Amino acid sequence: MSVTKVKVNHHGLVYSGEYLTEGHSVSFIIQEDDVRVIENFKSGYKSSTIENFYPIDEAIEYQDKLIQLGYDKVS
C-alpha cells in the first residue's frame, strides 16, 4: 500500500502529516477519495481524540486554517 503525501485540486493542496499547537494536534491522512483527520486534545490530566473523514476541499480549508492560526507542521 502506498501512502499519498499530497493531494491537489482546484482549491489548493492538502498535505499528509501532523500539525501541532499547545494541547492540540491534528493529523491528516490522505486516502483514495477523502482525508482522514485525527484530532488529539490534551489539557492537564484529560485527553480526548476525535476522528473524522473530510472531502478533499474541506480538508484543504481546514489545513489552511490551522496554518493561518500558527500550527506547526511536525511530520
Residue 10 lies in a domain: yes
Which cell is 49 given?
481524540
Q: Report the phi/psi class of residue 17: left, alpha or beta, with left for phi > 0 and alpha for psi in -120 to 50.
A: left
Query: Containing domain of residue 20, as a range?
Result: 6-73
60 occurs within a structural domain: yes
| Total of domains in the chain | 1
Q: Which of 30, 38, 32, 36 is nearest to 13 (CA)?
A: 30
7 vs 63, higher pLDDT:
63
* Residue with cell string 482522514: 36
Is 1 a domain residue?
A: no
Note the pTM of the prediction, 2 decimals: 0.86
Q: Do the Cβ atoms of 26 and 13 come closer than 8 Å? A: no
Predicted confidence (pLDDT) per residue in 3-54, tens digit: 568 777 766 889 999 999 999 999 999 998 899 999 999 998 999 999 999 9
User: pLDDT class for 1, splitting at 50, 70, 90?
Assistant: very low
